[in-house]
Amino acid sequence: MLDFHNHLMPGVDDGAATLEESRVGLAAFRAERVVDVITTPHLRASMIDHPHELDPFLAAMEEAWSALKGLATEEFPEMSVERGMEVMLDIPAPDLSDRRVRLAGTSFVLIEFPFMSIPPHSVPALRNVVERGWVPVVAHPERYRNMAANHDLVEHWREAGARIQVNSGSLIGQYGTAARTIAWELLRRGCVDYMSSDYHSRGKLLVTDAAAALEKRGGSSQLHALMTENPERLLRNEMPIPVEPLDDEAVPVWKKLLPWSGD
């Protein structure tokens, strides 16, 4: 499996604070059979237009990346570790030409909206990214406070050329009932392209638990596409295959009601 949304670089954002926490994060991924990782520290898109702010940030990022890469090479040689960034789209048309911003230097870029809220003009903003030659991957739409009343927006994002990544922990209630309900609904509608952890190198990594919840709902083929095939295609700079809508009508009701089985 490949995870391309996590925060393992030490001391650069709200993820791993130290190299020891980075070590804990890598060990957690290895224990759950995630052998390919693209780590994605936070970046505000508006910072790109302000070199006096961007330059020292990137210098710190390079130091953290060097430390993480060295750790991975020495202690986790069986794992592949690449980098990108989780870009907060706080301006409508950022310059994303620096390959360090994009996922493993591909055309794909992980995007989030500010303040955990969908802004009024999200579709044109994503279309701007596409028109500049990049593929925006919208991170954790299920977590946005105003997503419950805006499910159809996800389809508009996809029509504009964006792809969708749901957090694995959302399937089992890590971010609350609303996020869990929305995540399962997006899976039922076939609107999800990838599933990643958003792991911050603290607490329990929930990849295996989320995978079990999806399989319990009859989503084995969806699980393979979301966590293996499509992430691997991303790493090869290829668009994801369509993920079939989740049809869990045939799953017995008692299984749906088991703890961590969904909404």
Q: Go through the domains of the chain in sequence order and give each one's CATH number.
A: 2-256 (3.20.20.140)
Q: What is residue 259's predicted lDDT score, i.e. its pLDDT?
A: 43
Helix residue ranges per DSSP H, 76-198:
122-131, 151-159, 177-188
Contact yes or no for 77/70 (Cβ under 8 A): no
Contacts of 37 (CB under 8 A, 6+ apart): 2, 3, 4, 6, 8, 26, 29, 79, 80, 81, 82
**CB neighbour list of residue 209: distance below 8 Å, 6 or more residues apart:** 172, 260
Give the span between the Cα atoms of 261 and 33, in whole angstroms: 21
Give the confidence band of 255 by pLDDT, cuts at 50, 70, 90.
Answer: very low
pLDDT at 252 over 50: no
Confidence label for 257 from pLDDT (cuts 50, 70 and 90): very low
For the chain, the average pLDDT equals 94
Q: Which sign, positive or negative, has the C-alpha torsion 89, 92, 94, 99? A: positive
- The pair of structure tokens assigned to 27 is 């060990």
> So what's the pLDDT on residue 249?
66
Q: Show Cβ contacts of residue 98 under 8 Å, excluding neighbours closer than 6 positions.
A: 48
Phi, psi of 36 (to 5 degrees): -120, 130
- Mean pLDDT for 207-235 is 98
Residue-wise pLDDT tens digits, 8-52: 999 999 999 999 999 999 999 999 999 999 999 999 999 999 999
Per-residue pLDDT tens over the stretch 95-127: 999 999 999 999 999 999 999 999 999 999 999
pLDDT in tens, 190-208: 999 999 999 999 999 999 9
Q: What angle do CA 6, 133, 90 make, to 5 degrees?
A: 55
Determine the pLDDT at residue 260. Answer: 39
